[in-house]
Structure 1
């Protein structure tokens, strides 16, 4: 500073933005310090949150669509390759088109066996015709359902590998996909042999091989495997080191989410309920009914397992959960996964076009987990009509390092705008893909937004 005098004053008009601000200035320079309040409103962001199960967008109410970030379903391998080498991707493509049109991602798994299937074969019949050994059992809908006897059979593994390679070629890296399950072993692909008397348990090395086949086919899209039983814990830890997320199917029933603690700070986790909201919310004294204790149980399991994702009432086709528990759902929306706040930003009040300047940002992650999708920060100049006239990356900001511990993270970033002289509003935005025209990751703060750009304050360009 060229003078020992310092002036502190409020910027006129910033109260209209819901921003408190002060400026420290000298005759040569001015620095504005902008402070922001956390919002209690639910913030739905990609890569986290509630997952709606079953059916198309038309099967769910507006509230369910508003609070979910992704949809999800499971397919049987035989649906997608009923004849060797002839693939029917339409069941997956139809879901992707439908949910993408609603602005939601879609996750899915492909099972090699399902007790609930209406088909005799979940693994294609032609795999057994080629010599893969089988067992027969009575499913929920089909008597004499055919399932694999040996999950490490070379014929089965070769044909599964070919299928996965084709699926990976078509879908790996598709931004419409939130995650893909690894469901090639066991009942429902859950890594156990429920109902499958006579089927032989995989060794840990055998399960590792199944996972590796998926990793070979999918280099970009997040893979996720259901936790099955303690025998495979070392394999799940190995998979986590490879970037594979873990899910636990059976929350509120035979699990309290503790199997997912191993994911903390490393990969996403997902909690799938044992049954639907309609069942778990009852209070008739039956097993896994929680009645008025349901919210406490969901909250406890969510925190214990540091869930990144959770099903929205399981296969709750009536959307009863969201209709009856919306305030509770909104609360957990901001807890699951990451939840970013900007508490303070400091930068000059006046800048020169084409000349760089430094800005200081103070961030917080109030969620249960790190962010596990790509995320970059950018700044923009917005004119009085809400048009972005210039933007630049805030390369000094690293959202992937913002820990879910509620502590502030201070980061300094060099910014530079080239824009006509005039008065603008400075904005900040978070992107899962830098090529997107607008930010798609929102902050949990009060104040004005323009196309998901968070308005920080006024700035003049000379």
Structure 2
């Protein structure tokens, strides 16, 4: 269509976010009509907010920490779930029903809070020679201790705890003594394959699962003590001893098993220098730790652009290394140098989510500001810039529309959830009609690259979606609001939000008024009617 000078039909305002007290300018929302086409310009939502499958990730010591009954923290859309092997599979004969039953027990209610889980199976929380203690027999879900299934014996080996330290040592006469049982039992590889197959059957299509951390081997399931390779020295000894500090062949056993079991959910592994022949994401559990720069950060940088299809996550662990000088997560991110280091790593590694915040105080205004800065950087952040559509659409006919956006975050959205165009009731804002746009691939909306400390040198591309949705033929003629939404496939309702001020409670982003069977001459919405993204606690993915 030739460019036309439109008469201005626009509204401008500024309002204050009820959730955080931050002014949000809506001065760039306009809807302008030439009598045939409406052209819309939209304003970015200035603050951070909660969105699925990204941002701060929570964690609870099950059976010990009380999970909050209220809506999660302002940014809590993900929860890490350490899953004990012997509660998912008591013995090799257990069916997938045992995995499902225990998962249902642990994840009860997450759908109502619009939270997804990241499960990681573990066998050992902390070994006795590292100061670990046994599970509380009165607490079924306690993560402490060992969690070997009843028909797979635990470990017996030569390690001893260094007095007054969490470190371990081996007596000189035991320098080559292997560990028996546990990870080194001859049946262990087949038991891993058997369990992972069941995990895939239970979790690969479970809408509660965001991503799957591989886990299983090592303390906390972090692929060390014992290691899966000899790329780096062991933690407690100067050199590796096969059958004690590392498990020959286990990297391939795990890689093959998880690749086969999980065709839909993204799998993440602990170290970037392992599983190089597999298409997995990474969870680095020592962000901003100088002691892990080579083993973590640099190894992930060398891995290349795997982040385009696989998530990057982990946690800021502040109880060891240089970060041990801090006594809380609030203190970690309050330090300007450390916080800027974390943001630089988020941007350069294209981080999707980070843990460490479970006990943080979001009522602390200083922490709230620092946390918002990190949340805004992590994961995807889709910002609509403009859209166009006809002033009139007709029942039973297709109509042309388009909209443009940029991903100003650090990572893609890793699943192709549906994007919907909808018509809303002008009074209640309830959906009266909607259709999914074909050929829209959410996972291809990429962020920028090459962070310079302030912005990406390679700016994110502007994505323009052009579509011709077919309007239903049973819709009453009249005035409606045209809107966009990103749907969770589990429920068919919008749960992912664009970072824009034009928002209605319930998940839809209104573009402007449109006429069905009649032409709309005043398409501009009143920005005073927009709702605050961060304050909306109605979203959920219950079927």
Query: How does the TM-score come out when normalised to structure 2?
Result: 0.71
Aligned to 2:292: 255
Using the alignment, how far apart are the partners of 1:380 and 1:289 within structure 2?
Answer: 44
Query: Does residue 71 of the first structure (1) align with residue 79 of the second (2)?
Result: yes
Contact 1:396 1:412 (C-alpha < 8 Å) held by counterparts: no
Query: Does residue 376 of the first structure (1) align with residue 421 of the second (2)?
Result: no
Q: CA deviation at 1:160?
A: 2.0
Aligned to 1:188: 220
Contact 1:396 1:414 (C-alpha < 8 Å) held by counterparts: no
Equivalent residue of 2:461, what SS? Answer: coil
C-alpha change, 1:185 and 1:37, in structure 2 (3 Å) is same
Using the alignment, how far apart are the partners of 1:259 and 1:117 within structure 2?
Answer: 33
Equivalent residue of 1:112, what SS? Answer: strand
Match 1:347 to one of 389, 395, 399: 389
Aligned to 2:437: 394
Aligned to 1:417: 471
Using the alignment, how far apart are the partners of 2:470 and 2:40 within structure 1?
Answer: 19
Q: CA deviation at 1:266?
A: 2.8
Q: CA deviation at 1:128?
A: 2.6
Alignment RMSD, CA only? Answer: 3.5
Q: CA deviation at 1:303?
A: 1.9
Aligned to 2:33: 23
Match 1:135 to one of 134, 142, 157: 157
Number of matched residues? 435
Q: CA deviation at 1:48?
A: 1.4
Q: CA deviation at 1:14?
A: 8.4
C-alpha change, 1:431 and 1:158, in structure 2 (3 Å) is same
Q: CA deviation at 1:7?
A: 5.6
Contact 1:122 1:147 (C-alpha < 8 Å) held by counterparts: no
Q: CA deviation at 1:322?
A: 7.3
Query: Does residue 298 of the first structure (1) align with residue 342 of the second (2)?
Result: yes
Q: CA deviation at 1:271?
A: 2.8
Using the alignment, how far apart are the partners of 1:221 and 1:49 within structure 2?
Answer: 18
Q: CA deviation at 1:85?
A: 2.7
C-alpha change, 1:431 and 1:64, in structure 2 (3 Å) is closer
Q: CA deviation at 1:455?
A: 0.5
Using the alignment, how far apart are the partners of 1:290 and 1:429 within structure 2?
Answer: 33
Q: CA deviation at 1:86?
A: 4.1
Alignment of 1:80-229 (within 5 A): 80-86=88-94, 89=99, 91-115=102-126, 116=132, 118-119=134-135, 121-124=146-149, 126-128=151-153, 134-135=156-157, 137=159, 151=183, 154-193=186-225, 199-203=244-248, 205-227=249-271
Contact 1:395 1:414 (C-alpha < 8 Å) held by counterparts: no
| Structure richer in strand, relative to its length | 1
Q: Deviations over 1:201-244 (max 9, x none)?
A: 234x530221211222333222211117x4x3xx2x3222xxx2
Contact 2:56 2:78 (C-alpha < 8 Å) held by counterparts: yes
C-alpha change, 1:421 and 1:14, in structure 2 (3 Å) is farther
**Structure 2 unpaired stretches of 5+:** 16-25, 127-131, 136-144, 170-177, 226-233, 449-459, 518-543
